[in-house]
Amino acid sequence: MRPLLIVEAGQTLPEVRARRGDFELWIRAGLGQPQVAVHAVPVYRGAQLPSPAGCCGVIVTGSPALVTDREDWSERTARWLLSVVESGRPLLAICYGHQLLAHALGGIVGPSPKGREIGTVEVHVDAGDDLLLGGPPRVIRVQASHVESVLELPAGARRLAWNEADRNHAFRVGERAWGVQFHPEFDADIVRGYIAGRRQALEHEGLDPDELLRASADSPDGASLLARFWEIARPQSELRE
């Protein structure tokens, strides 16, 4: 049976990890299916990536690294993402992964024009009949933490979501490959941990950590997106290689 592949692009903040675990654990919880077979690959530590044919779908995590640093493991993963898109396997790339997917396909990634975005944010979604984000135009509440953004989408990509801070909060390439800048696996407690951990940087940048903490709130929108992604990937898990 094919597992769901989680490509780990890094770890969360140490103080958050000590209390709540890391990206893989949060993604598993968001899928809403504890019996899902998951294989995690820590590419930031140099782990080798398997053929996309051996998995039912791929989720790429966030990272404290920057895509624009072009680290060797990151560039290698970017090239591998091309093979995932070509394979047609469902792909969900989150935050760093979102930027890396855009970079891999020829998009432009760089410092966010409006500066750091962190906390609970509102994102406008207009995705039509898209399998993952489709439905009527709406505003969702999700968690975010990033200083870089996708400045220009790859050729042929479809923008699905945006807000004032980031005009490319979500996009799709092909039929089943998505990038989302926000963190669907975060809850309010996790994003508060990020705000607390980044307090000094936030104050230096002219942001108010206390106000960001007060404004942080839970929302079902992130977990529902992960659950929907699993519904897209699940048929592939039931096929034998």
Place of tokens 């479809």: 158
CA gap 118, 147 in Å, rounded: 9
Cα separations in angstroms, 140 against 65, 71, 202, 226? 27, 33, 24, 14
pLDDT reported for residue 239: 61
Q: CA angle 184-63-14, nearest 5°?
A: 95
pLDDT reported for residue 223: 95
CA gap 203, 218 in Å, rounded: 24
Residue boundaries of the structural domains of the chain:
4-111+148-186+220-237
pLDDT reported for residue 240: 57
Q: 51-86 pLDDT, tens per residue? A: 999 999 999 999 999 999 999 999 999 999 999 999
Q: 143-155 pLDDT, tens per residue? A: 999 999 999 999 9
Domain 4-111+148-186+220-237, architecture per CATH: 3-Layer(aba) Sandwich (3.40)
Residues noted as catalytic: 95, 183, 185
By C-alpha distance, which of 157, 170, 84, 94 is closest to 126? 170
pLDDT reported for residue 35: 80
Residue stretches of the chain with pLDDT short of 50 = none
Dig out the tokens for 26 from the structure: 């949060």
pLDDT reported for residue 111: 98
pLDDT reported for residue 120: 98
